[in-house]
Amino acid sequence: MSDHERVIVDYLAAAFPAAQVSAPSASAGASPVFPVIEGPVERRLEISRHILDDVSERAVEAMLRTNRIAETMRDQPGKRIAISRDRCAELVVEISPLDGA
């Protein structure tokens, strides 16, 4: 697990203390997906590989806290939160149902 991924897992584990937070599931070059399972409810956080490649671990944690990603995830059970950037390098947060849900 990379330093970026460890920071994200620690952030999610602190935000969801009763949940099982797993290491990311992604192949090389793909955006990592962090599952957060709390009882029967699953949430997923996906962060664009480009963001992780471009910023430091501290910047990733600050981005998650500033944009209240954990709170958004808590309010969206059974959803996938995807964080990426648009062509102007602005942060984009997309919310969609989990596959098969």
**Cβ neighbours, 10 Å, residue 23:** 13
Q: How far, rounded to the nearest angstrom, does the alpha carbon of residue 59 sit from its chain's CA centroid?
A: 14
Q: What is the pLDDT of residues 18-73, one digit of tens each?
A: 999 988 865 666 889 999 999 999 999 999 988 988 999 999 999 999 999 999 99
Write down the domain spans for the chain.
3-97
51: enclosing H helix or E strand = helix 49-54
Residue with tokens 């149902």: 97
Question: Which among 78, 70, 97, 7 is positioned nearest to 39, based on CA atoms?
Answer: 78
Whether pLDDT at 100 is above 60 = no
Query: Phi first, then psi: what are they for 85, rounded to 5°?
Result: -125, 150
What pLDDT is attached to residue 13?
95
